[in-house]
Amino acid sequence: MKRSALKTLSIAAFTVACITHANAGNSGEKNEASVIADSRQKELMYLLRQDCGSCHGMTMKGGLGTPLLPENLQDKPDGFLVHTIREGRPGTAMPPWKQFINEDEAKWLVKVLKEGVIK
């Protein structure tokens, strides 16, 4: 009986080790950058520079629209910015982009803007 308990314990330990290894590095949250294909990231960067840049300035320093520099965005919650990108801002020139940009893409754009990738 002791031998069978030891065998069961060994199998259980092995199973836990396998599960732990399989889940290593998985925090349960999606990494938007890894979800979006490189080709789509390039399209989004082009859209950010050309379409967003037409109002917010080619270097995001402002124009018709407000500046989109990291220092201007840091105090704004990501969810608010994602909503603004997708739904626009009624009563302003900011149009909704939800027909062109899904939620994960909008999250990726917020991350890019907050990191100051556009110069």
Domain annotation covers residue 22: no
Q: At what angle do helices 38-47 and 103-115 cross, to 10 degrees?
A: 70
The verdict on pTM exceeding 0.85 is: no
In a domain, 48, yes or no: yes
**CATH code of the domain covering residue 104:** 1.10.760.10
pLDDT, tens digit, 9 for 90 and up, residues 52-97? 999 999 999 999 999 999 999 999 999 999 999 999 999 999 999 9
Token code pair at residue 5: 């308990």
Task: Say what the pLDDT of residue 3 is.
Answer: 56
Angle between the N-to-C axes of helices 78-87 and 103-115, in degrees from 0 to 180, rounded to the nearest 10: 120
The whole domain housing 52 covers 35-115
Phi and psi angles of residue 61, each rounded to the nearest 5 degrees, phi first? -85, 5
pLDDT at position 17 is 42
Whether 51 is covered by a domain: the verdict is yes
74: tokens are 């840091």
Are the CB atoms for 98 and 86 separated by under 8 Å?
A: yes
**Is residue 49 included in any domain, yes or no?**
yes
Domain count along the chain:
1
* Residue 1 placed within a domain: no
Position 111 scores a pLDDT of 96
Alpha helices by DSSP H, listed for 24-102, are 32-35, 38-47, 53-56, 70-73, 78-87
